[in-house]
Structure formats: C-alpha cells, structure tokens
Homo-oligomer: A and B are copies of this chain.
Amino acid sequence: MNLILFDDRDRLDTRHVRLSDPERLRHLRDVQRAEPGDELSVGLLGGRWGRGRLLSLDAAGAVFEIHLDRDPPAPLPVHLLLALPRPRMLARTLEHVTALGVKRLTLLHTRRVEKSYWQSPELRPEKIRHHLLLGLEQARDTQLPHLDFEPRFKPFIEDRLPGQLAGRRALIAHPGMAETCPRGLAEPVTLAVGPEGGFIPYEVERLQALGFTGVHLGERILRVETAVTALLARLF
C-alpha cells in the first residue's frame, strides 16, 4: 500500500481524518507497523494526496493529521473495451489497468466469453471497487476509473459505441492483424481487447466497420492480463 486512501466520510475536520475500516487498520498495524508520529502517504478519493502524520491508532480507528498538496498522476487518455475475462483474471486485470492509469473501462460480452462469467461474485460492486482501490493505492492515484458493463455485444456496438468514438483513434488488438501496435501516442484512444481465444471474425469485422484499425503485438499469444499491460505500456 503506497497510499492510504480515505473518502469524505472519514474526515473529522479540514485537517484530520479517521480510518475505521478493519482491514486497513490491520494492514497499517501488522504490515506497515505504523506507530503514532509516523508520516505516511495519504490521499482523498477524487482529490489530492500528500502526507499524513499518524496521531493515534487503536481498535476504533487511526487518526491522521493531513497535509494534501499533490495532484494525482495524469490519467491515460484511453477508453479500454475489454471482453470480460474469467473471474480470477478479472480481479488482477482491474488492479493492473487501474494502477496504469486507465479511467474508462467497458467490460464487454463477446462470443468467446463464457456466459457464466457474468454471474460471478467478482462482478459485485463491492468486489470491483476493492480491486480498483488496490490499483489506486498501488500507483498513488486518487481518481477511480469509470466502469461500464455491456453484456450484449450487438446493441453496444450498434447503439452506444459509435457515439463514443468521436475524436478518438480506435484500435483493436488481435493476433494476425496487419499492423504492429503503434508506440508513444498522445491522442485519445479507444482500445478493444478480446477474450482468451480472441474475438471471432464477425466481431473484428463489425469493429473495423466502425473505424477500428487492427493491431498486433507480434506472434506471441499473451494472456489477457499480460497483453493489456503490454498494449498500454506501448501505446502511451
């Protein structure tokens, strides 16, 4: 935990916060071995971050005196369209992409996504939020990503996606495409990444018809979580 995030409900006054979440208190005590007087990195969800001096730590909570003078790191200018990964990989992928600075993520159904994945407990809001917060705390960020679910491919790409593409470069990452993935872009990008097993040809064609350009990362087939990190690191 490189940053302790709190939200407005944790504020005691303009200069003091109290954390009372048992899991964070345990981490603070047993992993970070924090003691009153210690200075730690703290941040306000949706706001700035900086230093917090621990004033007291007991079973009821940890009180910090805070001084927030730093802006969160810049977001990546990307809208990630990701075929819903299997649950265990979803959890890790949410942490990776949040740490990397993705602020807009759409989890999408495609033919090769198992339908059972949409019933996974990993999709519960509190589970999703937990992984997003871990990603933020890892990267010292305070801005939660915005997350959409699109459990039906066709209505999404026909009714909603076209209106979301204005002014953006649209890329579909897929093995066997003609172009290699570009490097060091500064413009806004919408990036579509398929499931294990890839998009089916029909899905690639539909996205290409909307203006998506197919790109690849070489002949190696990567796991979704590795591929997404590699794509984002290369694109920006």
Residues on A close to B: CB < 8 A?
2, 73, 95-96, 99-101, 138-141, 183-184, 217-223, 226, 229-234
Contact = CB atoms under 8 A, between A and B. Distances in A.
Given A183-B183, A183-B184, A184-B183, A138 B222 contact: yes
Contacts of A184: 183
27 contacts: A73-B218, A73-B219, A96-B223, A96-B226, A99-B220, A99-B222, A99-B223, A100-B220, A100-B222, A100-B226, A100-B230, A101-B220, A138-B222, A138-B223, A139-B221, A140-B221, A141-B220, A183-B184, A183-B234, A217-B233, A226-B229, A229-B229, A229-B233, A230-B230, A233-B233, A233-B234, A234-B234
Given A183-B183, A183-B184, A184-B183, A73 B230 contact: no
